[in-house]
Structures are given as C-alpha cells and as structure tokens.
Amino acid sequence: MVQDEIRRRNLGTLLRHVHLGGSLSRAALGERMGLNRSTIMALTAELTAAGLVREDPPTDTGRAGRPSLVVRPESTRVYVLAFDVAVGWLVAARVGLGGVILDRRRAPRPRAGADLDRVVEVLARFGRQLHEAAPPASVCVGVSASYCGMIRPGDGMVRFGPDMGWVDQAFGTELGRRLGLDLPVSVGNEAHLGALAEQQRGAGVGFRNLIYLHGDVGVGGGIIVGGKLLDGEGGYGCELGHMVVNPYDGRPCGCGSRGCLEAEVGERALLDAAGRPAELFGRDALRAVVDDAGRGDPVARDALHRVGDWLGIGVANLINLFNPGIVIFGGMLRDVYPGAVDPVRARIAANVLPVARERVRLHTSALGDDATLVGAAELGFLELLTDPLGTLARTATGTRCPRQRQPAASPNRPPGTPVSRAPRTAPPPGA
C-alpha cells in the first residue's frame, strides 16, 4: 500500500510538472523530482499508456550521448470545462491539459440583480456546445467555475455576491445538474483563483508570497503565503476589497459598510470622481477615463490620482501585513494601475516599513482578463494532478464526446493558443 501511494504521488507530481512547465525531457523531470532515470521512464510509460502525455524525440540532438525523450501533455485529448462569471460577462472554455485554451464562448451579463437561472442557462448551453465540439477520443476530467463572490467550499454555494444581490445561491449544484455530464462542478472565488493562476502561470511565477488584487465592479483579493493560498477558517478569507481604508467620510459599500477599499477604488468611485453620469458603467467607461487622463484631461487625471491614493493606502497596509514579494493588479485594476502608479508608489514610500518595501515588486496581471478563467481551469485539473490514473478511470466512462464538430473560433484567442506565461524577470510597470 505504501508503494502504491508513492507511485500515485509520483505520477501526479510528474504530470503536474508537464502540465505547468510544458514540454520537458526525461532528464529534466528526473532532476526536478530527484528520481533516477529508470523510475522516470516507468512513470512516463504509465502516463503515456493512459493517454495523458506523449514522448517525442528531442529537436536538439547536438549533445553527446543518447538524447532524452521529451514528455509533452496530451492537450487535445484531456481537458476540463472552465467557466468564469464576472459582473459584466460570462465565459466558458474547453481547456486542455497543459493550460491550452482550445475553444471558448462568451456572452454579456446584464446587471439585473439576482440572475442565477439565466447565468446557469447560458453557461450550461455553452458547456454542452464545447463538450460536443471536442474530438470523440477526448475526455473531460473536470468541471470548474470562478465566481465573483464568497463561495462555500465543497458545494459551490454562493454565500454572498453583493454586486448582483446573490445570497445563498446553489450555483455549483445547479450548473452541474443542467450540464448533465455526471461530473461535480468545483467553484472558487474569482480573486483567489486569479492569485493561484498568476502564481502558476503569470506574473507571480517563482514567488512564494504574493498578493493579487482583482478589480471588477468592486475589488477582490487573493493572498499566497509560503506557496499556499490563505483561505481563512471557512474559506472566506482575503476579502481585501472590504478592508476599511476611509472610516470617517467613506463612500457606501455594497457590503453595508462604508469606506471599504472597493468603495474607494472600484468602478463607480472612479467614474464618479471623473464626473461621468450614472448610466455610464463597465470596462469601456473605465478605459475612457484612463485614456482621457493620458491625453491630459485634468478631471480624469485628478480622478485617477484620487483612486490611486486610496489604492496605495490599501496596498501599503497589505505589504506591511504580509511582506509579499510581488503585488499583482488584475481585472479592471490592470487598466487603472498604470495611470495611478505615482500615488500608489508615494503611499508605499510614505507608509510601508523600509525593510518590507525594499524588495516588493508591483506588476499588472500577465494573464489579463484570462486570469480568473485560467484559475478556474486549474481548479478543474486539481483531482487529475493528484491521482492521474484513478481520476481518468472515474471520468473516462460517460464523458467521452459523442461526436465531433468543428470547434468555433475564439473571439479573443485563436483555438489552440497556449495560456501566456510571463517570465519572472518581466519589469513591473512604473519601476
């Protein structure tokens, strides 16, 4: 039994290296895992026989001696269905092993209050389309979703989604039922998943301590400490947007408090400061303010400076508390931060302990608007990467696609495009 457990763990570790690192030689895998050549060969043989990886001759054969075969993920054969629910849009994607976005669908999400039925209807339809468009020999090994709210671990219940009025909505259960694939749906908070995605594939690669701030209508957050997500006692930790930064004359927040970080730097805060009417909202309206500020509009520039000052106060507090190696700005904050970098850095210089600020880096998300979708996909692959052969055995029957259709081209990324992975040395904006 001990040997079986060691073997299962080694298979998962090897598959994870290939999933996150791309094509790796047997020799490189042996070095990373601390295993000898014969053990690596046996592990790759099992994963190859299961259809999870393939082995190809190396393209570079200039070295002396017998070349080591290159192990690659079977991206088109093994996939998850990943969903991303933001305030303004719904996204569904078929994501192959190795992080390759193979196909996707996207639809706007009207801001019309609690809309569980519509959200599930749209996502389930997209999910079935993506599943049916997959090659007949492929297998879906997981279904997962990112949601912009507080998620109860285990069953995908949205306990609180203030921007759309969701309270105790059985999102994960209902989506799984309407998909009809006989697979449970794992659901995570969008900012938590965005933090994990950036650490594994984005601007946070190589950092064991990072903070991810995700802007939508409000602000969410994810904190990784020692390589692990800080999730709290009930799974509701890291609600950074509800850290109070302006307790005396702060703006009202959707959570019922006043002066929360998201109330002072969220979508409406910036648009109001820039004098934009209430009927203007969404990412295009935010980008218009940023563009106007870049062209020298004084009202837009003052609005960005005001929001940047509150953002800087929040970031300064977080750096003092957690001493991260990097702070990453995602979602709409990816658009706002470059125009607000000066007040953010001024607050850090004035309010952060020198020993805590001397090494911290500030960076926009390398995965862009795909960060939360990529995080959802990684949640879907979690079981496979823990027990590859057992998971494949449990999911292969009943989830193979019944027929092949021509996949629709992605509106934002061509099918087969791998998820971007930023080098650790990428310079931070405003550095």
User: Residue ranges per domain, the chain?
Assistant: 2-73, 78-193+370-418, 206-365
Residue appearing with tokens 């993920």? 73
Whether the pLDDT of residue 137 is over 70: the answer is yes
283-322 pLDDT, tens digit each = 899 999 999 999 999 999 999 999 999 999 999 999 999 9
pLDDT by residue (tens digit) across 95-105? 999 999 999 99
Predicted local distance difference test score (pLDDT) of residue 315:
97
Burial of 68 by CB count in 10 Å (0-12 exposed, 13-18 middle, 19+ buried)? buried
The residue with greater pLDDT, 394 or 425, is 394
Q: What angle do CA 48, 53, 54 make, to 5 degrees?
A: 75
Joined tokens for residue 189: 């908070």
Lowest mean pLDDT among 16-30, 204-218, 233-247: 233-247
Per-residue tokens: 278: 């209430």
User: What confidence score (pLDDT) does residue 166 get?
Assistant: 85
Beta-ladder partners of 53: 73
* Distance between CA atoms of residues 357 and 170, nearest Å: 42
68 φ, ψ (degrees, to nearest 5): -90, 130
Among 111-115, 151-155, 268-272, which stretch is predicted with the lowest mean pLDDT?
111-115
pLDDT in tens, 28-87: 999 999 999 999 999 999 999 999 999 988 776 555 556 678 999 999 999 999 999 999
Q: Same topology for domains 2-73 and 206-365, yes or no?
A: no
Q: Report the alpha-carbon distance of residue 68 to residue 369 in Å, rounded.
A: 37
- Dist. CA 40–CA 34, nearest whole Å: 10
Domain boundaries 2-73, CATH class: mainly alpha
- Residue 182 exposed, middle or buried by CB count within 10 Å (0-12, 13-18, 19+): exposed
What value does the mean pLDDT of the chain take? Answer: 88
Domain 78-193+370-418: CATH superfamily is ATPase, nucleotide binding domain (3.30.420.40)
Cβ contacts of 19 within 8 Å, gap of 6 or more: 73, 97, 98, 99, 381, 385
d(CA 396, CA 420): 29
For residues 419 and 410, give the distance between their C-alpha atoms in angstroms, rounded to a whole number.
Answer: 13
Tokens 């957690």 belong to which residue? 322
Q: What is the pLDDT of residue 238?
A: 86
* % of the chain exceeding 70 in pLDDT: 90
Residue 279 identity (one-letter amino acid): E
Assess whether pLDDT exceeds 80 at residue 338.
yes
Angstrom distance (rounded) from CA 178 to CA 158: 17
Asked: is 206-365 a CATH 3.30.420.40 domain? The reply is: yes
